[in-house]
């Protein structure tokens, strides 16, 4: 086995025993990036000199016995996270040359834990998309079939983990943007509870929905990354001062007495038969491990997609108003009139999907329409939250598919945004409710593409998600399969 193929857990053990150096591990990952990046196109920026310098510092810390939980581990960052001295584009032309003067809190915490940061991964522009086709620079390709999308908007992060171009990654999840690409790429992805992880230094899309979380080759790897980045941050007003549990200790494998709620996902139109079969088999596996099914009802989640596409664009149009070529963002030249400069800057700087969502949000918030759209959507969101509260009074976790289909061909839905939006039908409710969700590999379609299982729990109960996901992982081998690159 090559070093780049290791899980974080396995690599950390080798590093601790000094059987592998951080520099050797990092060089192996960088060589892997050189070998497969032209086919996958997961990265927007690779910082090889910086990564090697960090690896040498990690080796110094390891030799001195001053190692953290991620010391010497090569990770990637979605290009929506600010990195001091390293450009942060958000997949957009308007920020193509933006170099932040500070690190996001999660980046600070990874550095403190000793991680080696390989580079910044591709994404849908400003995290608006489900396929990573909306990047202003290039589409990322699924390592399992490079003719297909990797999911989005954290498609570059998921593809990089699946292709062994890093040992783990950070993504962001506003409506499924960690879990959906994790499912499509056959890796593990975790959206924490809203408020569990600081959003300081995350370039905002929809501030009441955005959350940062890990992607990894195993549940244990995601637990290790989450432990490093979770916790209160006074610089983020939405960060909650909750105690961070010992996530590694939660990986007991014991599911006896666990109550799993199964929403009626089979009633969702367009559910691929292979997805339905894989999820049904996964539920059977959980039952064989000691869990039992209980009936649950989530009646208002049928309105989740419509609700999301009022709330998220409304928040986006507010957050993106700052990119005007004066305060933030590259300015289009040649105009003598201020309004013309604004129009030219934003038309040239923003892609079609971002412009579409800004217009949707502006309309929903405009005088005469606010009550009919935004206020009504906020009321439905409250009903969805209450549905989850009632469901979790009866069960410990909810189980469903992550996405209705396996990864689709690049370009297949590019001209049909409504069909594209339905890709997140199973993941959006968790963002509206602020609850945590975990995606774990649970099978393969007939053409060999990965299928993911989604597990959701009540607020700040990530340890239960990790316990269930880890137990399922130990009873199956789906997470051990590798794409045929």
Instruction: Tell me the pLDDT band of 265, cut-offs 50, 70 and 90.
Output: confident
Is the whole model's pTM more than 0.95, yes or no?
yes
Architecture (CATH level 2) of domain 3-258+396-480 = Alpha-Beta Complex (3.90)
**The pLDDT of residue 37:** 98
What's the CA gap between 32 and 39, in Å, rounded?
Answer: 12
**The pLDDT of residue 334:** 84
Instruction: Tell me the pLDDT band of 11, cut-offs 50, 70 and 90.
Output: very high
pLDDT above 80 (res 268): no
Instruction: Tell me the pLDDT band of 91, cut-offs 50, 70 and 90.
Output: very high
406-461 residue pLDDT tens? 999 999 998 899 889 999 999 999 999 999 999 999 999 999 999 999 999 999 99
pLDDT above 90 (res 274): yes
**The pLDDT of residue 214:** 99
358-396 residue pLDDT tens? 999 999 999 999 999 999 999 999 999 999 999 999 999
117-128 residue pLDDT tens? 999 999 999 999
pLDDT above 80 (res 113): yes
311-326 residue pLDDT tens? 999 999 999 999 999 9
**The pLDDT of residue 87:** 98
Per cent of the chain over pLDDT 70 is 100
- Cα 466 to Cα 183, 278, 374, distances in angstroms: 16, 20, 35
Q: Any bridge partners for residue 438, and if so which?
A: 190, 455
Q: What mean pLDDT comes out for the span 295-318?
A: 96
Q: Which two tokens stand for residue 382?
A: 């409250």
Contact 209, 481 (CB under 8 A): no
Q: Any bridge partners for residue 290, and if so which?
A: none
329-360 residue pLDDT tens? 999 988 889 999 999 999 999 999 999 999 99
221-249 residue pLDDT tens? 999 999 999 999 999 999 999 999 999 99
Residue bearing tokens 């230094």: 201
Contact 315, 209 (CB under 8 A): yes
Q: What mean pLDDT comes out for the span 106-125?
A: 98
- 62 phi, psi to nearest 5 deg: -65, -40
**The pLDDT of residue 270:** 83
Instruction: Tell me the pLDDT band of 176, cut-offs 50, 70 and 90.
Output: very high
**For 2-45, what is the HEC assignment?**
CHHHCCHHHHHHHHHCCCCCHHHHHHHHHHHHHHHHHHHCCEEE
Instruction: Tell me the pLDDT band of 485, cut-offs 50, 70 and 90.
Output: confident
pLDDT above 80 (res 267): no
Residues annotated as catalytic are: 78, 153, 177
**The pLDDT of residue 335:** 85
pLDDT above 80 (res 269): no
In the chain, which residues fall in CATH 3.90.1300.10? 3-258+396-480
Q: What mean pLDDT comes out for the span 272-286?
A: 97
18-39 residue pLDDT tens? 999 999 999 999 999 999 999 9
**The pLDDT of residue 264:** 85
What's the CA gap between 479 and 193, in Å, rounded?
Answer: 24
Per cent of the chain over pLDDT 90 is 95
Q: What is the CA radius of gyration of the chain?
A: 21
- Cα 199 to Cα 107, 241, 424, distances in angstroms: 11, 14, 22
Indicate if the alpha-carbon torsion angle 17, 23, 26, 28 is positive or negative.
negative
- 46 phi, psi to nearest 5 deg: -115, 125
**The pLDDT of residue 333:** 84
Instruction: Centre a 10 Å sphere on the Cβ of residue 259 and count the other Cβ atoms it contains.
Output: 14
């Amino acid at each position: 086995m090559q070093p780049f193929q290791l899980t974080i857990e396995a690599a950390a053990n080798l590093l601790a025993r000094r059987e592998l150096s951080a520099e050797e591990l990092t060089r192996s990952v960088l060589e892997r990036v050189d070998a497969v990046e032209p086919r996958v196109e997961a990265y927007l920026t690779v910082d090889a000199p910086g990564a090697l310098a960090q690896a040498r510092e990690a080796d110094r810390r390891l030799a001195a016995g001053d190692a953290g939980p991620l010391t010497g581990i090569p990770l990637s960052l979605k290009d929506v996270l600010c990195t001091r001295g390293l450009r942060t584009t958000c997949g957009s032309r308007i920020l193509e040359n933006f170099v932040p003067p500070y690190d996001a809190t999660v980046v600070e915490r990874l550095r403190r834990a000793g991680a080696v940061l390989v580079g910044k991964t591709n994404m849908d522009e400003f995290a608006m998309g489900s396929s990573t086709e909306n990047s202003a620079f290039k589409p990322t390709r699924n390592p399992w079939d490079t003719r297909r999308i990797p999911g989005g908007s954290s498609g570059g992060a998921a593809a990089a983990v699946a292709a062994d171009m890093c040992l783990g990654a950070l993504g962001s999840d506003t409506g499924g943007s960690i879990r959906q690409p994790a499912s499509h790429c056959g890796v593990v992805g975790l959206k924490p509870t809203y408020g569990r992880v600081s959003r300081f230094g995350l370039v905002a899309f929809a501030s009441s929905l955005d959350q940062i979380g890990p992607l990894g080759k195993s549940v244990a790897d995601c637990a290790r990354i989450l432990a490093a980045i979770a916790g209160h941050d006074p610089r983020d007003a939405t960060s909650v001062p909750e105690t961070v549990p010992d996530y590694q200790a939660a990986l007991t494998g014991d599911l006896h007495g666990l109550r799993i709620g199964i929403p009626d996902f089979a009633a969702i139109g367009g559910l691929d038969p292979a997805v339905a079969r894989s999820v049904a088999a996964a539920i059977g596996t959980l039952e064989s491990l000691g869990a039992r099914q209980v009936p649950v009802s989530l009646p208002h989640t049928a309105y989740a997609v419509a609700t999301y596409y009022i709330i998220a664009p409304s928040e986006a149009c507010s957050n993106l108003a700052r990119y005007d070529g004066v305060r933030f963002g590259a300015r289009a030249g040649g105009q003598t009139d201020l309004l013309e400069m604004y129009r030219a800057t934003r038309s040239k700087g923003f892609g079609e999907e971002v412009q579409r969502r800004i217009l949707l949000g502006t309309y929903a918030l405009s005088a005469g329409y606010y009550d009919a759209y935004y206020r009504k959507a906020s009321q439905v969101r409250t009903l969805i939250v209450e549905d989850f509260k009632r469901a979790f009074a009866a069960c410990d976790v909810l189980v469903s598919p992550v996405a209705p289909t396996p990864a689709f061909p690049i370009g297949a839905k590019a001209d049909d945004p409504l069909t594209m939006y339905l890709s997140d039908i199973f993941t959006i409710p968790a963002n509206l409710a602020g609850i945590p969700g975990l995606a774990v590999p649970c099978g393969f379609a007939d053409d060999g593409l990965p299928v993911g299982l989604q597990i959701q729990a009540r607020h700040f109960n990530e340890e239960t998600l990790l316990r269930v996901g880890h137990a399922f992982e130990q009873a199956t081998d789906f997470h051990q399969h590798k794409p045929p690159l």
